[in-house]
Structure formats: structure tokens, C-alpha cells
Amino acid sequence: MATRTKPADRRTDALSKKRIVEAAIELLDAGGESALTFRALAAHLATGSGAIYHHVANKDDLLAAATNDVIARVVTEVAGDADPREAIRTVALGVFDAIDAHAWMGALLSRTPSLVALPQIFEGFGGQLQALGIPDRAQFDSASALVSYTLGVAGQNAANAHLFPHGTDRAAFLAAAAAQWARLDPARYQFVHKVAAQLPEHDDREQFLAGIDLILAGTEALAP
Amino acid sequence: MATRTKPADRRTDALSKKRIVEAAIELLDAGGESALTFRALAAHLATGSGAIYHHVANKDDLLAAATNDVIARVVTEVAGDADPREAIRTVALGVFDAIDAHAWMGALLSRTPSLVALPQIFEGFGGQLQALGIPDRAQFDSASALVSYTLGVAGQNAANAHLFPHGTDRAAFLAAAAAQWARLDPARYQFVHKVAAQLPEHDDREQFLAGIDLILAGTEALAP
DNA sequence: ACCTGAACACCGTTCAAGT
DNA sequence: ACCTGAACACCGTTCAAGT
């Protein structure tokens, strides 16, 4: 924007980490984690595969940057809610929905400490626990539990999405899982058998929220 | 300590899925997930890489079998405890410690639905919730929360172990993480700053158990 | 300084050929 | 039926050579 010494006859834009990360997210959204290769990325950006290494250390770095980008959008979107309990649910559902929209992210979030994404989620939960008046030591344990639980659900959702790629019939998926669980030895898997019947009619998002509420209720019960 | 019924004149033993999975676990324990390649496995078993495909569908199948093997040992080890609350803690710590001993498993558990390992953990928790007298519908949500939370912690532990491979000084690791958190913008990351001070002195295993207790307390509070 | 793209050192998986 | 191992179709990453 300063000097117009460069005639733009070369390429549309210079390469930058920002542009690379955006392109990576596009590829990931379109084809999942396996679709992100340096060759595909280079083709998408009309450059050589080696050029990418001038802006990104390696593939792990690129994946972390992509994850962080998406999470940042989620967490900053969450405005200050009046009720801290409701705000915690909003943060949790924000992460849940983001993972739903970017299926590749679930596996990443639960695998990498994502040195930047983790504090963001932590802050989202922890700030509200303070507002709830939870004692200091309990805040740490509780925020930790909320984060771990959320990332755990994220990972499993990603795994499920991986098993049933596109718009596979969700009902069919659950029915298949229930049937498989029902096939296990009834003596050793008594509880699993009982739950198998409830599997087809349960809602992932609702059950996720139910878990958040359990941790919240436990926090208030144990640290009044 | 094997029962040697066959004259071992050919090779030590015929190839079998059991032997392959055992060898895979050895390689994984010794060198992490990247150490398990079909070439290394074939060399370890003194066979060709293609031979493995006669007993195992592909690498995912092999990893799932290895995970399931380890989890099966953990869950069956847990004897019937008198107090259901204590039994739930025992199952949880069993999975936690198994992941600690087999660092590669954390990432796998949180990534694959592990169609066999998942019901095992589910049953471990759920059976005790029944014993506690939790109502049916609440049992499903609660067991689900316990499983997701446990797998979430598993994934993060694995990620941490990946960052600091061998016997890296744990104190140094936590201090480094705390320092990094302390470097974040204090205005945006107020809670993270406060928690950073507690990071170096906290115990992973204790905090994991604290989360289990939160979910348990929440279950009893919301479904009396 | 940034970009190019061939080259390197690997992978998982397949398959004709052996026993 | 089971095993062998070369071959295939990929990877991430590097680096001399270009601009």
C-alpha cells in the first residue's frame, strides 16, 4: 500500500501464511485431512510445494494454525452472556458446532495440544466459572474437566464422521452401531445392551450439553 | 512359557493375528506410532510385508486390534469393587494408567471409535452407575460423559507425551507451558494467567480423578 | 528474498510368483 | 493356503537452481 513500484504483472498476490492457512482450511473442509497435501496445496495456490515452507515450518505447524484460526472465530464470537451458566453452554456448543462444520478439526483438537487453541477454550470456560463464584482451586479442576470433556466428544465425533463420510444416513449409522452393540455377549456387556436400545433415538448435541451440565452441577455441588 | 505341541522345525511359529498384534504393541511401546510400519513389522516377524495382510485387513484394523487388546486387559483386571463410586474411579484410573504406560494409545483411543474398546469402557462405567441406583435415562448420559471425558484426557496426555518424548523433566515441561501461558495477552487471557501459576504444581492423575468426581457428583445431584 | 520443481527417503497396499 | 518381496502410487521435506 505504500509504494506502487511493483507492477502487478506477476501473480495476483504474494504468498503469505494467512493465505496458505486459508487455502488449507478450504482443502480440509472439502476433502478431510487426507486431502491436505503439500502438492495439492501448492497446486491450489499456483506455486511450488517448496515455497510453502518459506511461511510454514511443516505440516504440523500448518494444521495447528488452521485449527487455531477456526477456534479463534468461535470463541471471539461468543459475546458476554448475562448468565455465566448459559455462557458456558454457549462456548461449549460453539466448539461443538465448529467441529461439526469442520469435521477434520475434531481429530486435530484431541490430538495436538494446539498450543494456542487450548488456552482460548480454557479462557472461554474459566472466565465464566469465576463469574459463578467458584473458589479458585476448584476453578482449575472444573475448567480442565470442561475442556477435556469437550475435546473428548470432539474426537469421537470426528471418528464417527470418518466412519460414515458424507451425508450417510444418521439413523442408519446409529441403527448399525446399536445392532453391533446388541451382538456383544449379553453376560459381559449387560449395560451396553440396555443402552443400545436408546442409541438410535438419542441426540448427540443434547447429550453433549447434558454432560456439560453434569460437570457444572458437580462443580456447584462440591464447591459451594 | 508357551505350550509347545508342534515340532518347531519350520519357523518358530506360524503367523497369526495374535502374534502380529503382540509384535505391533511391542513396536508401538518401543518407538511410538511412527515406529509401526509394515516393513518394520515384517522384519520383526521375519516375514514379508505382504504376509501380514493375510491376517489383518489394513493398518487401521491393526491399530484397533492393538488398542482393544490393551484395554481388554485393563477392564477385566478391575474386580468387582464393593463401593460403585470406588469402582468407577478404579476403571477410570485403569484406563488412565494404561494410556500412561502405552503412550501411543491415547491418540488412538480418542481418534478411532475403536468399535470394540469403546463398549468395554462403557460397560465398565455403566455397570457401576446401575449399582448406584441412577435412573435409566440418566445412566446413558452419565456413562457417555465419563467415557468422553476419559478419552479426552487420554488424547491430551498423548499429545503432551508427543511434545516431550522420553523422560523429559515433567517439572520443566509444566514450567515451560506455564511460561507460555503467562506470555499471552493478560487482557484477553485473564483466567489463563491465573491458572498458569497453578500449572507447575498440579498433578495430572489427581486432576483427572477430580473430573471423574465432578461428573459423578453432578449425576447424583441432577438425578436423585 | 522468495519461488520453483525435481529428487530423496520414506509410506501403505497390491499382486504375480513361489512353497 | 500361506508366504514372499518387488512394484506401484503415493507422501513430507529438502535443496540446487532460478527470478
CATH number of the domain within which A176 lies: 1.10.357.10
How far is the alpha carbon of B122 from chain A, nearest alpha carbon, in Å?
7
Q: What is the pLDDT of residue B2?
A: 36
The percentage of residues in chain B with a pLDDT greater than 70, rounded to a whole number, is: 86
> Is position B17 within any domain?
no
Q: What is the pLDDT of residue A168?
A: 65
Q: Which B residues, 6 through 45, put their C-beta within 8 Å of a C-beta on chain A?
A: none
CB < 8 Å & 24+ apart, contacts of B207-210: B207/A140, B207/A141, B207/A144, B208/B92, B208/B93, B208/B96, B208/B153, B209/B89, B209/B92, B209/B93, B210/A141, B210/A144, B210/A145
Q: Cβ–Cβ of A214/B222 closer than 8 Å?
A: yes
Q: How confident is the model at residue A110 (pLDDT cuts 50, 70, 90)?
A: confident
The percentage of residues in chain A with a pLDDT greater than 90, rounded to a whole number, is: 59
> Is position A135 within any domain?
yes
State the first-to-last Cα distance of chain A, in angstroms, to the nearest integer.
Answer: 57
Q: Cβ–Cβ of A111/B181 closer than 8 Å?
A: no
Render pLDDT for A51-105 as a digit per residue (tens, 0 to 9): 999 999 999 999 999 998 998 888 777 666 679 999 999 999 999 999 888 988 8
In the numeric block, which cell numbers belong to residue A55?
511461511
Measure CA to C1' and name the residue nearest C3. Answer: A51
> Is position A70 within any domain?
no
CA of B109 to C1' of D4 (A): 34
Total domains in chain A come to: 1
> Is position B128 within any domain?
yes
Greatest Cα-to-Cα distance within chain B, rounded to the nearest angstrom: 73
Segment B201-208 shows an average pLDDT of 93
Q: What is the pLDDT of residue B1?
A: 36
* Kind and range of the H or E run holding B110: helix B104-111
> Is position A156 within any domain?
yes
Does the pLDDT at position A162 exceed 80? no
Whether the CB of A173 is below 8 Å from some CB of chain B: the reply is no
> Is position A54 within any domain?
no
Mean pLDDT computed over every residue of chain A: 86
CA of B193 to C1' of C16 (A): 63
Q: What is the pLDDT of residue A166?
A: 56
Q: Cβ–Cβ of A153/B150 closer than 8 Å?
A: no
- Measured from the Cβ of residue B63, the count of other Cβ atoms closer than 10 Å reads 23
Q: What is the pLDDT of residue B13?
A: 64
- Measured from the Cβ of residue A222, the count of other Cβ atoms closer than 10 Å reads 18
Q: How confident is the model at residue B14 (pLDDT cuts 50, 70, 90)?
A: confident
> Is position A178 within any domain?
yes
Segment B58-69 shows an average pLDDT of 93
On chain A, the residues whose CB falls within 8 A of the CB of B139 are 191, 194-195
Q: Which B residues, 70 through 89, put their C-beta within 8 Å of a C-beta on chain A?
A: none
Higher pLDDT, A18 or B137: A18
Does the pLDDT at position A6 exceed 60? no
Least reliable range by pLDDT among A137-141, A198-202, B11-15, B191-195:
B11-15
Mean pLDDT computed over every residue of chain B: 86
Give the distance, in angstroms, between the CA of residue B155 and the centroid of all CA atoms in the same chain.
8
Domain residue limits at A210: 85-220
DSSP annotation of A46: T
Segment B72-99 shows an average pLDDT of 84
Segment B160-165 shows an average pLDDT of 68
Q: What is the pLDDT of residue A171?
A: 80
Which of B126, B140, B149 minimises the CB distance to A152? B149
> Is position A141 within any domain?
yes
